[in-house]
A and B are shown apart, each in its own frame.
Chain A
Amino acid sequence: MQRLSIPHLNSSGIEAITQEEQILRSYQTVLILKPDLDDAGVNAMIEKVGEYFKKYGGSTLNVQNWGKKRLAYRVKKNRFGIYLNFYHTCENVRVVELEKDFFLNDSIIKFLVLRLTDKELERALNRINEVDATEGLSDDDDDDSATDDDDDDATIADLED
């Protein structure tokens, strides 16, 4: 293996680049909290995470509580988790620090931070408003999905034959 040498990037050069690129960007963050937290605990967590965003130069745009859900696989020995969805801004350089904070927080068992373009953010916020306007949080209609599953299973089984 050849080592890559980068002569044009000395330490000062890297600093200059990072300083130049420090922009406030929008992100979507999904957190999975421990299932044994009660409502008060969840609200406290929402506030705490909002403080994290503030600490790194951002702010919370929207918070959604998706409620307690069954996880598709075990995460840190938990079968259930409380999902929180945030739309927020953060300084792009300090997202690493934000993720470190999530790692260190014991009530967060898993998280996902996604960068959103302006278009995507606008669309997401519009969609939330639409859903709020029509009805409250969407209920899980298992009936439809169950029938769909059955159909698809049949097709796959037929194909494999």
Chain B
Amino acid sequence: MTYTKKRSFFAQKICRFCAEKVEVIDFYDIKLLKPLISERGKIIPSRISGNCAKHQRRLTEAVKLARNIALLPFSVER
């Protein structure tokens, strides 16, 4: 029961970058990256966000660059 409920919650399993035909993910495009980052500053896994492997790879690279230049946090402590 709960399982199916959860599945329906994450119904969108389409890569959002493929859908918009984004080829390159810029590390300074914070508006694009922010929704793919958890509250803690972690990268949301592709099995949840629904990104394809290619774009998830590019996303991680972009996020890591953004962290390096203090646009995104390495970790958010509570």
Contacts and interface: CB of A to CB of B under 8 A. Distances in A.
Interface residues of B, number: 23
Interface in A107-132: 110, 112, 114, 120, 123
A145 B73 contact: no
A6 B4 CA distance: 60
Given A156-B39, A156-B44, A158-B9, A72 B34 contact: no
Contacts of B36: 152
Contact of A32 (B31, B67, B70): B70
A72 B48 contact: no
B69 A30 contact: yes
Contact of A73 (B44, B48, B74): B74
Nearest to B69: A112
B73 A148 contact: no
Interface of A: 30, 32, 66, 69, 71-73, 75, 81, 85, 110, 112, 114, 120, 123, 141, 144-145, 148-149, 151-153, 155-156, 158-159
Interface of B: 6, 9-10, 24, 28, 31, 34-36, 38-39, 41, 44, 48, 65, 67-74
Given A66-B28, A73-B70, A112-B65, 6 more contacts: A73-B73, A73-B74, A110-B69, A123-B24, A145-B31, A159-B48
